A = this chain, B = another copy of it.
Amino acid sequence: MAGRRSAAEARDTRAKILRRAADVASADGLEGLTIGRLASELDMSKAGVIGQFGSKEELQLATLALAAEIFRGRVWEPVEHLPAGLPRLLAVCESWTRYAKKPPFPGGCFIAAASFEFDGRSGRVHDELAKVVKRWRKTLAAEVETAVRAGELGADTDPDQVAFSLEALAAGANPARQLHGDTSAASWSLRAMHAVLGVPAPKAA
């Protein structure tokens, strides 16, 4: 019993650390994530934090995995049940811009921030981040292909070009909102996504 309880406690502690780590990293970057800072913010010992992960890099990787899971839960899972092709793709654009408008992290979309922070670096965090984003892009590109086969999108639509463009437009809503206070950034983004897909824009909200 005691053994099981302490395993559950360790999981809770790990979850608590990771959630705070994602919040910190969304605003100050994955490099800004130090064991000392987390320990102090969570009122834990540094040994208590490091004991869960072993190194700063492992902590960064676990934080990235959590952020990817949260992204998927907010953007993909709510629309996953819809018919594949254009209907689901347009629903993704909506859930994605909704996510960008009210991100679950204080510093905005974690993945977007990390992509700009780590793109010029090398190492395991860079590689894992590339893998996570590539998986998402493949999901988008497959959806575009389905839409093209169904005749919902033009035959000359380039799935990779669309996936790139949707990602850039969703990411751009973060600095727009946070740097410039653009309250319309999410709807600008959604409108541009429709233009890229070559489908009529939704009515302004």
Binding site for B on A (CB under 8 A): 26-29, 31-32, 106-108, 112-113, 115-121, 126, 129-130, 133-134, 137, 158, 160-161, 164-165, 167-169, 171-180, 182, 184-185, 188-189, 191-192, 195-196, 198
Tell me the smallest distance from the CB of A114 to a CB of chain B, in Å.
Answer: 9
Taking a contact as CB atoms under 8 Å apart, the answer to whether B179 and A130 are in contact is yes
Tell me the smallest distance from the CB of A79 to a CB of chain B, in Å.
Answer: 22
Q: Taking chain A's interface residues, is the majority helix, strand, or loop, or is none over half, making it mixed?
A: helix
Q: Which residues of the other chain, B, contact A165 by a CB distance below 8 angstroms?
A: 169, 172, 188-189, 191-192, 195
Q: Which residues of the other chain, B, contact A176 by a CB distance below 8 angstroms?
A: 164, 167-168
Q: Which residues of the other chain, B, contact A28 by a CB distance below 8 angstroms?
A: 31, 120-121
